[in-house]
Amino acid sequence: MTALRVEATHPVFCTIIPPHLLDRLAQSDDEARAGRARRTLERDAAQRIRRREAAPPAATEPAAEEKPNRTIYDAGKVETLPGTKVRGEGDEAVKDASVNRAYAGLGSTFELFLKGFERNSIDGEGLALDATVHYGQEYNNAFWDGHQMVFGDGDGEIFNDFTTSLDVIGHELAHGVTQYTANLDYQGQAGALNESVSDVFGSLVKQYALGQTAEEADWLIGADLLAGAVEGKALRSMKAPGTAYDDDVLGKDPQPGSMDGYVDTTEDNGGVHINSGIPNRAFYEVATAIGGKAWERAGQIWYDVLTGGKLAKDANFAAFAQLTVAAAQKRYGKDSKELAAVQKGWSEVGVTPADEAGSPEADTTPCE
């Protein structure tokens, strides 16, 4: 099957650490901690400006072979990209663990999309996968900038090295897949869907690498990122949004697990990292109800929607839900347990699919 591929005119700048967490840290009484957070926020703001001004990614020639083409660079703790090349495709492992983890993470993500979804790299046409490690001084984030992955080292107090979490690598590269397919807006419910899709495929990358079933998976995003000063499990929980952390450093996880808790805010592009908990939990409910390996059936439904050409850039939860219902019925049949699981999953989080609601705008909360 040939998947949809579109060009993103202005690729969005997507970070794994939400602005609300960095804002919280920037207000800390610990000046060193606050200073690191402010510097990370400033770097992220500067990168967003660069992304808006940058040219779109150049078209790529189809790859001759369906194999990864990875290049890892070292920024040397400065903020110039891509940095110095330190490992290319097929090269032996180096002494730098961050380089090797980035290389392996890119490979695991490539493998899931190729073997699980018959997709040849991020763009479906063998796009080279580039990544830069050791970006900035104690930079507390990782991001996809529309062209490549970038990893900070973390500060060792709040956040560990950002190459340590495989699902984070998968999450950020999945933003690239969205960029080349549905190209969802990074605002409001469409932006929350953009973030949720990345959490879904980031979690699937980890589950695929570990050979886990949906029942065996932890459904946590960034479980390896939180360092010693934080009491928490991860950045987000797809199984139970709002429970990933609750401590004096980061505050309490603000993600809602259903529309009853939907957060209407102008911050973070309309709460894209917060309200993503709702479709995240819907996917968890679907995957565990179906059972087995989540990328084999539940993941196929989400992938069909992302790449099928019917998902509008500004889609809301209700519209996305309806497309998953249609995709499940088309792939598995109207009497299938997969379709029943999709319908029940969205019902569990309070989202009514668009045609059942009578309007694509039904059952949503607008964001400005």
DSSP 245: B
Phi, psi (5° rounding) for residue 364? -130, 165
Report d(CA 30, CA 34) in Å as an integer. 6
HSE of 46, CA atoms in CB hemisphere, 13 A: 8
Cis peptide before 82 (omega within 30 of 0): yes
Closest CA to 174 of 202, 141, 150, 147: 202
Residue linked to tokens 């992955």: 149
Please say if 157 is a catalytic residue.
no
Catalytic residue among 138, 172, 195, 338: 172
Burial of 337 (0-12, 13-18, 19+ CB in 10 A): middle
Tokens of 204: 């699937």
- What span, in angstroms and rounded, lies between the C-alpha atoms of 101 and 38? 27
Instruction: Assess whether 147 carries a catalytic annotation.
Output: no
- Give the other-Cβ count within 10 Å of 194's Cβ: 26
Compute how many other C-beta atoms are within 10 angstroms of the C-beta atom of residue 348: 16
Among the options 134, 195, 273, 285, which is catalytic?
A: 273
Question: Across-strand partners of 142?
Answer: 151
How many angstroms separate the CA atoms of 12 and 9, rounded? 9
CA atoms within 13 A on the CB side of 339: 13
Catalytic positions: 172, 273
